[in-house]
Amino acid sequence: MIIGVDASRAIVSERTGTEAYSLFLTRSLIQLATSRGHRIRLYYNDRPAEDMFPIADGIEHVELSFPRLWTHLKLASEVHRNPPDVFFTPAHVIPYSYRRPSVATVHDLGFLHYPDAHTRRQLVYLRWSTGHNSRRARKVIADSAATKEDLSKYYKIPAEKVAVVFPGIDPQLRPVSDADKRAVVVEKYGITPPYVLHIGTVQPRKNLARLIDSFIGSGVDHQLVLAGKLGWLAEPIVEKVQEMKPANRERILLTGYIADKDKGALISAADALVFPSLYEGFGFPLVEANACGTPVLASNSSSLPEIAGDAALLVDPLDQTAIGDGIFQILDDDTLRHRLVEAGIINARRFSWDTAAVKILDVLENAASYQMGT
């Protein structure tokens, strides 16, 4: 069969979690699907880097440049004219007019839990696109059981329509023990060790304003590094840092976007990853820190307990004192740190793109079988 994949998010240069999901999953899916005799048809809204996806038999590359409404006009026209047996969107939206077999991944419904953490425009789009994908798709992929439960609760999507498939993480991520390599990356981003690290787009849902206050009140002698590009509604967070007293302001660093090649060293050199997000459908940084041997503090809500297992110190993300106490504990208690590091290395093994590709290809084959009469 022919599997059409919207690869428009995979080719974004500065990838966040959903774009990384699209890239790494598509790579694993290509390898597995072609080995089973399927064809993969990749749709792009721009020219991808030459080494992003293989050029080989069984793989079609369809470049569809278009200035606006690419999905619902240009991509829609292409898939109507030359439809695949099943269409898959790993990190975007199904074309509005498309009625043939399709599968979509829904990453999270945090916008329903914390609507004030989004702009009005984003809120309108997320509500529409999530509902559209969930109802239009023949099958839905959810990153976690928490997201599946939300789909049932808020959109009344039947449980049998939704498959929970954990994402993987960058297979190159592992502990970086070379002190020189770590020092180069730390210097590159202007970090002053020792430090605790947060990775993620700077936006209200990440709970950064509360994290900053918790960190300052924790009494630890570290720098707090907030690594990630600025997202929507980031201005109050940036202003909060700028308006702090000089002694405190020097302890908070906004690095901007972190290149993929630097992430392993950056995480490995941190004394802890702090991730008290208000809501996550999965939580890539948690598992990335597990893989790099860095102890993790994370929220005890949404999908994070499910993803962390016993490999993180979990705290109430709405309790500023609990976050601050957790930061102090994770830096002060060597026994706890050792336990979290050991548990994290084991936990990270649960998350593999190859495993995800096997499960998702099964879903795609099932979704296409209705159309193909098998």
**pLDDT, position 14:** 80
Does residue 234 surpass a pLDDT of 80?
A: yes
Mean pLDDT, the chain, whole residue set: 94
* pLDDT tens digits, one per residue of 243-263: 999 988 999 999 999 999 999
Q: Is the pTM of this model over 0.85?
A: yes
CATH code linked to domain 179-348: 3.40.50.2000
Nearest to 356 by CA among 297, 287, 295, 300: 287
Q: Peptide bond before 194: cis, by omega within 30 degrees of 0?
A: yes
> Is the domain defined by 2-168+352-372 classed in CATH 3.40.50.2000?
yes
> How far is it, in rounded angstroms, from Cα 368 to Cα 347?
33
How confident is the model over 205-221, as a mean pLDDT? 95
- pLDDT, residue 270, reads 98
Domain boundaries, the chain: 2-168+352-372, 179-348
pLDDT greater than 90 at residue 116: no
Report whether pLDDT(371) > 90.
no
* pLDDT band with cut points at 50, 70 and 90 for residue 331: very high
Both structure tokens of 17: 């979690």
Q: Of 36-40, 243-247, 320-324, 327-331, which range is least confident?
A: 243-247
Pairing between β-strand 272-275 and β-strand 296-299 as defined by DSSP bridges: parallel
For residue 281, the 8-state DSSP code is S
Confidence of residue 374 (pLDDT cuts 50, 70, 90): very low
Query: Distance between CA atoms of 265 and 270, rounded to whole angstroms?
Result: 9
pLDDT at 210 over 50: yes
**In contact, 63 and 44? CB cutoff 8 Å:** yes
Question: In the block, which residue shows the tokens 């390898």?
Answer: 31
> Which pLDDT score is estimated for 373?
43
- Say which residue, 31 or 371, is predicted with more confidence: 31
Residue 322: pLDDT band with limits 50, 70, 90: very high
Angle at which helices 208-217 and 320-332 cross, to 10°: 60
Rg (CA), the chain: 21
Among 20-34, 86-100, 310-324, 358-372, the range scoring the smallest mean pLDDT is 358-372
pLDDT reported for residue 177: 94
Q: What is the pLDDT of residue 372?
A: 45
In whole angstroms, give the CA distance from residue 263 to residue 259.
Answer: 7
pLDDT at position 370 over 70: no
Identical topology for domains 2-168+352-372 and 179-348: yes
Res. 139: pLDDT tops 70:
yes
